[in-house]
Amino acid sequence: MRGPLAPRPVPIALTRAEKFDDLASDSVERLTKRWPELERVRFAVLDVPEAETELLADEPVALGRMVPATADETAMIILYRRPLELRAESRSELEMLVHDILVEQVADLLGLDPDTVDPDD
Residue 76: CB atoms within 10 A of its CB come to 16
What's the rounded Cα separation, in Å, for the pair 76 and 70?
10
Amino acid (one-letter) located at 57: A
Q: Residue 50's pLDDT is what?
A: 82
Instruction: Give residue 22's pLDDT.
Output: 95
- The pTM score is 0.83
pLDDT value for 39? 96
The DSSP secondary-structure symbol of 6 reads B
Averaged pLDDT in 10-residue chunks for the chain of 121 residues? 58 85 96 96 94 59 93 96 96 96 98 94 64
For the chain, the straight-line distance linking the first and the last C-alpha, in angstroms and rounded, comes to 40
Residue 66 has φ and ψ, to the nearest 5°, of -110, 125
**DSSP run (H or E) holding 42:** strand 42-46
- Euclidean distance between CA atoms 85 and 32, whole angstroms: 23
User: Which among 92, 112, 98, 94 has a CA at the least distance from the CA of 38?
Assistant: 112
Helix (H) or strand (E) holding 64: strand 64-67
| CATH label, 16-116, candidates 3.40.50.261, 2.40.50.100, 1.10.357.10, 3.30.2010.20 | 3.30.2010.20
Cα 66 from Cα 108, distance rounded (Å): 7
